[in-house]
Structure 1
């Protein structure tokens, strides 16, 4: 996609093409410490709104005591507790059903864009959502990993480990090429999905064929939605360097918005066909909206329909 040259996130004195990948990686590394702090704060603010998943079943951690029911195996009786209560007590353990969620933020050139209608770049919002979701999920006992780049883990430092890897990623891709998630795991991708619809669909199909359930979150700057440009405007494409000068930019608005809607409809239809979900999040909307909606989607039983765009914050 083309953007106004004056609103590119990179300064006019950007390094030559040979150094662009290193320059972009350094930009990501620079913002990650602050993003981790913000992710922790956001995860804390929504913690009270999250529903628990604890239930009795096979596991190692103690959950609760309850009275013995006739017919249960005697091996489940806690004799010490029973003696103090003067009735037979069963020691239940918490059900261990840690789910694996694979995360992937798109850090390619188009994601660096930020307009005057937002205070954050699409890339930074993708990183923030990735870190915050990792924190929330691991606190809930889930396993999170970086798709194709880091094995899943359930400890509290998973988000920091993901940040370390992303901070040194020199060749980012919109969708991981060689990732192979196992069946019954979830994949969450944060991207603007501005690549050819056929390429995005092919990547989704490959991951879905492995048995993974996926969730695409399209992150857009609000200016990409409204296209408010008028008069003479020069647009440039961040990754290819393509430039276009429009004498009257406003005449392109209707065609642009129709093309954007058509792309989204195709992606949403393909996701529904694959059993995946597709949603939209704008960078001028609260992060907590998208985070809560995603957590709900990831912890349901998988039988609900695809998540409507408006339920994840700033949808069309």
Structure 2
């Protein structure tokens, strides 16, 4: 029942396509990528973990320290001014940050109170987080779609992978397998799958010790249910309809059940050591992005933003 949407004048009517994701996502992606970059540029104070250590990416030259092996000397650089220099590489730990962006049918909903669908907000937030984190020195991948990457083209690469994906567009949960032990996960979803199923998937992802953060996307109408009189509800996932005689009274019960559902998700996150952040689509995307980026920076020992 928690997947049910009320039909207002601006909401989807029966018989209309649910999301038309495969038809119009390609047309929307350029705008979403530009908006994600604008959001990422507005997020300040998030720094990554750039430091020296074993890896493949050149970081800096530094003077040779007494006692170090001569095999570490970069003779070409040292020959420039007669001093001995060591070529350091950027530290690359085995952990990475794994995104998962919910693109299931329920994410296609938008009301007159928001004017942006949940899936578009989720994609903007996910792309913005990816760019912010890569600029901070992290590697980011999408669960089930890409490997972790530190490319400056991370947004375009994620967008292309999502556009080409024909298998997971309807899934309302990430793949059912543990993440690497040192990984971080970011799930961006509306959470409108049964709480028990979501809790089980969180437990699986975290079973190896991976940390995680859930960004819960909600339309303001889903939060407030501001209706009275007769109403017809339509389930975007299953195509079912429900006629409600007294929407005001039904709304009271709905809000109680939604709170209980959210409490169950929050408890699952607490048990796994994960965080839960609620983000409404009538609020700026930068708020959710800054919150998640700050949590990750804090977990890395950096400034909280």
TM-score by length of 2: 0.85
Distance 1:129 1:140 in 2: 16
Deviation track 1:216-254 (CA, whole Å, cap 9, x = no partner) reads 111001111112111222111111122222222111233
Distance 2:208 2:220 in 1: 34
* Aligned with 2:31 (options 34, 42, 46): 34
Partner SS for 1:153: coil
Specify whether residues 82 and 143 from structure 1 end up closer, same or farther in structure 2 by C-alpha distance, changes over 3 A only.
closer
Specify whether residues 39 and 98 from structure 1 end up closer, same or farther in structure 2 by C-alpha distance, changes over 3 A only.
farther
* Aligned with 1:285 (options 273, 277, 283): 283
Specify whether residues 155 and 249 from structure 1 end up closer, same or farther in structure 2 by C-alpha distance, changes over 3 A only.
same
The aligned counterpart of 2:239 is: 241
Distance 1:7 1:64 in 2: 63
The aligned counterpart of 1:3 is: 5
* 1:89 CA displacement: 6.3
Q: 1:63 aligned to 2:65?
A: no
| Structure 2 counterparts to residues 30-109 of structure 1, below 5 A | 30-46=27-43, 48-59=44-55, 60-63=57-60, 65=62, 70-73=66-69, 92-97=88-93, 99-109=95-105
* 1:260 CA displacement: 1.4
Q: 1:114 aligned to 2:107?
A: no
The aligned counterpart of 2:139 is: 143
Partner SS for 2:206: helix
Partner SS for 1:134: helix
* 1:88 CA displacement: 6.8
The count of residues paired between Structure 1 and Structure 2 equals 298
Distance 2:138 2:88 in 1: 20
Higher relative contact order (CA 8 A, sep 6+): 2
Deviation track 1:81-138 (CA, whole Å, cap 9, x = no partner) reads 7788887766655433474111111111111111111121111111111111111222
* 1:192 CA displacement: 0.9
Specify whether residues 124 and 85 from structure 1 end up closer, same or farther in structure 2 by C-alpha distance, changes over 3 A only.
same
Q: 1:25 aligned to 2:22?
A: yes
* Aligned with 2:202 (options 196, 200, 204): 204
* Aligned with 1:301 (options 293, 299, 302): 299
Q: In 2, are the aligned partners of 1:217 and 1:279 still within 8 Å (CA)?
A: yes
The aligned counterpart of 1:222 is: 220
* 1:74 CA displacement: 5.1
Partner SS for 1:130: helix
Deviation track 1:132-190 (CA, whole Å, cap 9, x = no partner) reads 11112222232211111222222122221221222243442111235553221112111
